[in-house]
Structure 1
Amino acid sequence: MLELATGSGLAMAAGVNAWIPLLLLGLLSRFSDLLTLPAGWGWLENPWVMAILAVLLVLEMTADKIPALDSVNDVVQTFVRPTAGGIAFGAGAASETVTVEDPQAFMAGGEWVTVVIGIVLALVVHAAKAGGRVITNTVSGGTAAPVMSTVEDVAAVGVSFLGITLPFLMIPVLILFAIGLWLIVRGVRKHRRMKQIDEAYGAAT
């Protein structure tokens, strides 16, 4: 189902940056023919809502590029990004896009189901992002934070657009994400083991 792919792309983007997919949904619905939000999600294209989302986006993008502060931001966003993912998935899956003209059949199973899927998917992506940031900050001493954050922002915009315009391409993206997640989990575990070994060695000496 293309609706599922669209929602997945937006929820994954929210797991990286909560505000990019929500602002993108509002902008595209209001100013383009690429996407039309259903009535229940029309508030996303309200000018005041988009202005608030834009301010929040600037704040998060700034905080995420400052070493140490980026880790604090990830902790705060643990609650924000899954919520945004649920909203993005629900709104995206219910919208008419250039590839989906009648999403109502998909939504017949219940709108709350798509919101829950989005929350879970965004939470997993957020956990992977936070875990990966811990590794890169440790290896680089925090100097890689601005570069990593910029790459993540670009990826969030790209995946959001991909989910809306070419949702069938989300399948290989999801596969690559699963592989990347496995590598990150493996890296985090290795980092913890090395830290435990160093602490044990320090205590012994």
Structure 2
Amino acid sequence: MLELATGSGLAMAAGVNAWIPLLLLGLLSRFSDLLSLPAGWQWLENPWVMVILGVLLVVEIVADKIPALDSVNDVLQTVIRPTAGGIAFGAGSASETVTVSDPQAFFEGGEWITVTVGVVLALVVHAAKAGGRVITNAVSGGTAAPVMSTVEDAAAVGVSFLGITLPFLMIPVLILFAIGLILIVRGVRKHRRLKQIDEAYGTA
């Protein structure tokens, strides 16, 4: 089941930043022994693909750190991040890593299943990220956006590496994420209630 943990880590990272796990997969497969992409996903290590991913990553990093623009970026990424999550999960779970020597034995013939799982997982993480950013922007007036974005980028890199090198540690990460998701949902609901109360008193 380590393949599932590897794919989960990469898909979660894609839910935060679409390009980090994809670029990391390409770089590690091409320039290290930590990971070897299967034939169907080796396009990720193509130099031109990695250059394009790198450019998109820079654009994403900059846009996500500008107040107001970060929320617009989250809306635009609603399709991109889940798609990247599906690709990352499919490629990562089917790759040979330092901890997984025969991934195809686990996922043989079910590529669409892994991609679907990755899409769903990345979409959930993306929704949590976007919801959390709404709360922090409202509380800080947008000034916390650069800090939050930097932390999120670092987390995406860390979770990606964790999924590839120490996938068994993804279990507690998934548990912590579930707890955090519950807290974010509660926070968003509380923020909406307070906003509705303010609007009610403002019009009274």
Paired position in structure 1 for 2:168:
168
Paired position in structure 2 for 1:152:
152
Aligned residue pairs total 204
Paired position in structure 1 for 2:10:
10
Paired position in structure 2 for 1:187:
187
Paired position in structure 2 for 1:102:
102
Deviation at 1:95, TM superposition (A): 0.1
Question: Which amino acid is the alignment partner of residue 152 of structure 2?
Answer: E
SS in 1 for 2:67: coil
Displaced runs of 4 or more, over 6 A = none
Q: Matched residues in 1 for 2:119 and 2:61: separation?
A: 21
User: For residues 99-138 of structure 1, what are the structure 2 equivalents within 5 Å?
Assistant: 99-138=99-138
Paired position in structure 2 for 1:91:
91
What TM-score, normalized by structure 1, do the two folds share? 0.99
Deviation at 1:107, TM superposition (A): 1.1
Q: Which moved more, 1:100-109 or 1:117-126?
A: 100-109
- Which deviations, in whole Å up to 9, do the C-alpha atoms of 1:18-63 show, x marking residues without a partner? 0000000000000000000000000000000000000000000000
Deviation at 1:203, TM superposition (A): 1.1
What TM-score, normalized by structure 2, do the two folds share? 0.99
Q: Matched residues in 1 for 2:87 and 2:189: separation?
A: 32
Question: Which amino acid is the alignment partner of residue 182 of structure 1?
Answer: I
What's the C-alpha RMSD, in Å, of the aligned pairs?
0.5
* Consecutive unaligned residues in structure 1, runs of 5 or more: none
* Consecutive unaligned residues in structure 2, runs of 5 or more: none
- Which deviations, in whole Å up to 9, do the C-alpha atoms of 1:97-133 show, x marking residues without a partner? 0000000111125100000000000000000000000
Paired position in structure 2 for 1:34:
34
SS in 2 for 1:4: helix
Q: Matched residues in 2 for 1:23 and 1:167: separation?
A: 19
Question: Which amino acid is the alignment partner of residue 37 of structure 1?
Answer: L
SS in 1 for 2:105: helix
Q: Matched residues in 1 for 2:15 and 2:3: separation?
A: 18
Q: Matched residues in 1 for 2:199 and 2:109: separation?
A: 52
Q: Which moved more, 1:122-131 or 1:101-110?
A: 101-110
Q: Percent identity?
A: 89
SS in 2 for 1:133: helix
Q: Matched residues in 2 for 1:83 and 1:185: separation?
A: 23
